[in-house]
């Protein structure tokens, strides 16, 4: 088992650090944000991620996990240094690499002994080579380090599970010693099966973008099929189910909805487009997935307005679910942002409710009303829009809701409500691509 430093305690860094300590390694999670480290040391976990707090607490008390803002010292103590800093979207879809480069700088001046330098952050293809040359310029002795690309495939909301039981672990390096060290840090994973895949650095970097873009493409594809189903009277759930039974297609990521959001798909697709343009290549499929997604997000407001016969002026609408998906408080690129803008822009009034993302959304929309309880949020509203597939929305007491709301309109953008029940209670409703009952 190895001594590891993680640079960056965002969601990737924290989950990776906690997961690697759970595998028996001794991990120091570091960050330049001293405040964050202080909070982590006093037991405050800055993100909502199911199961994370439990493994962090267990590994702290077993002395396998530490938090420190002394990055230099942590690097010097470690054999593996993992870069997990943010790579936000910069201008024109290019990735902002400033945090990565400053982490690499810190690593290069603290290479007191041989280390594997590994990148987990999603970085443009070619970054590995740049990092190797950045370090080489500083250290002169190239035997002091090897470089590995080890992209993450963690979904927010199930990141701990994805880390502890991954479908695959991609290790991009041509160096067998570095590969073996990386295999060691993931050792408990291949007691039963071997999920390790060794590739070149560039291939590993590409696997991440290719995987995310393909999943996003699947979503945009099923959303377009859903929209066509609506126009033609077909049912998208039956279509997706039957499509998914074909092993070549698989049923995953074929759920139609209000469009994909989050900190990954929108950013990574733009980055891949930017990368391909730089090589004078066009990626029409990726471009199409982006356009379809933007249109899908806008389409939700139109669907709502249509349910109100074209006018939502002064109508009060409860927006249920603000996070970009269930089990996270992340609202980045959430379709809830588009629907709220659509409602406000057309003269409507918003009551917002999310079990955990109210606070995050209030940083974007200050002037709408937020509720801590779903039934309070629907009191006297004219209509309801469901944006996030939270479990608590799947089992709503629709009878009670019908009594306390003023109107009878529901737009279910996640297709989670029972259409028979909606009809029998007299709701006027719409969803995505289903045959209405
Ligand atoms: C995604 C990938 O799934 C992870 O493998 C990857 O590591 C991560 O990006 C990343 O690059 O860090 P994440 O963005 O957390 O993970 O969430 P997903 O579960 O993939 O969902 C993304 C969006 O697609 C959400 O808005 C979700 O509601 C939407 N979606 C997903 C659909 O609309 N339909 C589906 O069938 C699936």
For 145-185, how does the pLDDT look when each residue is reduced to its tens digit (9 = 90+)? 999 999 999 999 999 999 999 999 999 999 999 999 999 99
Give residue 168's pLDDT. 95
Q: How far apart are CA 398 and CA 421, in angstroms?
A: 8
Whole-number Å distance, alpha carbon 140 to ligand 1 midpoint, is: 41
Written as one string, the DSSP assignment of 63-108 is TSEEEES-HHHHHHH-SEEEE-----B-GGG-B--HHHHHHHHHHH
Residue nearest to atom 1 of ligand 1 (CA): 155
CB of 201 closer than 6 A to ligand 1? no
Q: What is the pLDDT of residues 384-412, one digit of tens each?
A: 999 999 999 999 999 999 999 999 999 99
**pLDDT for position 419:** 97
Q: How many CB atoms lie within 10 A of CB 288?
A: 14
The finding on whether 253 has its CB within 6 A of some atom of ligand 1 is yes
Q: At what angle do helices 127-139 and 98-108 cross, to 10 degrees?
A: 30
- 32: nearest Cα among 48, 8, 50: 8
Q: How confident is the model at residue 90 (pLDDT cuts 50, 70, 90)?
A: confident
Residue 152 Cβ contacting ligand 1 at under 6 Å: yes
pLDDT, residue 277, reads 95
CATH class of 3-199: alpha beta
pLDDT of residue 1: 85
Q: Is the pTM of this model over 0.85?
A: yes
Only one residue has tokens 């909301």, namely: 157
The counts of H helices and E strands in the chain are: 18, 14
Q: What is the pLDDT of residue 271?
A: 94
Contacts of 202 (CB under 8 A, 6+ apart): 125, 126, 128, 129, 172
Compute, in angstroms, the gap from residue 155 CA to the centroid of ligand 1.
6
pLDDT in tens, 249-281: 999 999 999 999 999 999 999 999 999 999 999
* Spatial contact of 134 and 101, defined as CB atoms under 8 Å apart: yes
pLDDT at 147: 98
Is residue 330 pLDDT above 80, yes or no?
yes
Which residues does 121 contact at the CB level (< 8 Å), separation at least 6?
8, 12, 83, 84, 85, 86, 87, 100
Domain ranges of the chain: 3-199
Which residue's alpha carbon is at the smallest distance from atom 5 of ligand 1? 153
- The enclosing H or E element of 295 equals helix 284-307
pLDDT at 192: 73
State how beta strands 65-68 and 196-199 pair. unpaired
Q: What is the pLDDT of residue 93?
A: 79
Q: Which of 89-98, 180-189, 200-209, 321-330 has the lowest mean pLDDT?
A: 89-98
169-172 vs 428-430, strand pairing mode = unpaired
Helix (H, G, I), strand (E, B) or coil at 283: coil
- Say yes or no to pLDDT of 194 above 90: no
CA of 59 to the centre of ligand 1 (A): 28
pLDDT tens figures, 331-344: 999 999 999 999 99
- Is the CB of 255 within 6 Å of ligand 1? yes
Is residue 155 lining ligand 1, measured as CB closer than 6 Å? yes
Residues catalogued as catalytic: 264
Distances (CA, A) of 102 to 8, 87, 95, 220, 264: 11, 12, 15, 36, 22
Q: How confident is the model at residue 242 (pLDDT cuts 50, 70, 90)?
A: very high
């Amino acid at each position: 088992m190895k001594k590891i430093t993680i640079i960056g305690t965002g969601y990737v860094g924290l989950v990776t650090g906690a997961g690697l300590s759970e595998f028996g390694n001794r991990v120091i999670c570091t960050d330049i944000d001293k405040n964050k480290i202080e909070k982590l040391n006093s037991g405050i976990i800055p993100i909502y991620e199911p199961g994370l707090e439990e493994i962090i607490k267990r590994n702290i008390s077993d002395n396998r996990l530490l938090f420190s803002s002394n990055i230099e010292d942590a690097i010097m103590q470690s054999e593996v240094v993992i870069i997990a800093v943010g790579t936000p979207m910069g201008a024109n879809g290019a990735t902002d690499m400033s945090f990565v480069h400053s982490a690499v700088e810190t690593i290069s001046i603290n290479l007191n002994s041989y280390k594997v330098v590994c990148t987990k952050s999603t970085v443009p293809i070619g970054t590995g080579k740049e990092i190797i040359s950045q370090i080489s310029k500083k250290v002169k002795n190239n035997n002091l380090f090897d470089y590995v690309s080890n992209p993450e495939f963690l979904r927010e909301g199930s990141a701990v599970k994805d880390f502890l039981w991954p479908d695959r672990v991609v290790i991009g390096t041509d160096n067998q010693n570095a590969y073996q060290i990386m295999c060691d840090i993931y050792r408990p994973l291949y007691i039963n099966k071997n999920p390790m895949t060794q590739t070149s650095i560039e291939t590993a970097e590409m696997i991440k973008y290719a995987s995310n873009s393909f999943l996003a493409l699947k979503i945009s594809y099923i959303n377009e099929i859903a929209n066509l189903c609506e126009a033609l009277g077909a049912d998208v759930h039956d279509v997706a189910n039957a499509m998914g039974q074909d092993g070549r297609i698989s049923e995953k990521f074929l759920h139609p909805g209000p469009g994909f959001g989050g900190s990954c798909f929108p950013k990574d697709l733009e980055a891949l487009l930017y990368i391909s343009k730089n090589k004078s290549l066009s990626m029409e499929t990726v471009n199409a997935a982006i356009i379809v997604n933007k249109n899908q997000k806008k389409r939700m407001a139109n669907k709502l307005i249509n349910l109100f016969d074209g006018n939502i002026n002064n109508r009060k609408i409860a927006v249920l679910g603000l996070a970009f998906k269930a089990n996270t408080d992340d609202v980045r690129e959430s379709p809830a942002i588009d629907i709220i803008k659509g409602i406000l822009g057309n003269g409507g009034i918003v009551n917002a409710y999310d079990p955990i993302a109210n606070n995050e959304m209030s940083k974007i929309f200050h002037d709408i009303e937020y509720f801590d309880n779903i039934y309070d949020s629907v009191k006297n509203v004219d209509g309801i829009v469901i944006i996030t597939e939270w479990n608590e929305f799947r089992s709503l007491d629709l009878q009670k809701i019908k009594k306390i709301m003023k109107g009878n309109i529901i737009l279910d953008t996640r297709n989670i409500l029972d259409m028979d029940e909606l009809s029998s209670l007299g709701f006027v409703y719409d969803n995505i691509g289903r045959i209405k009952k």
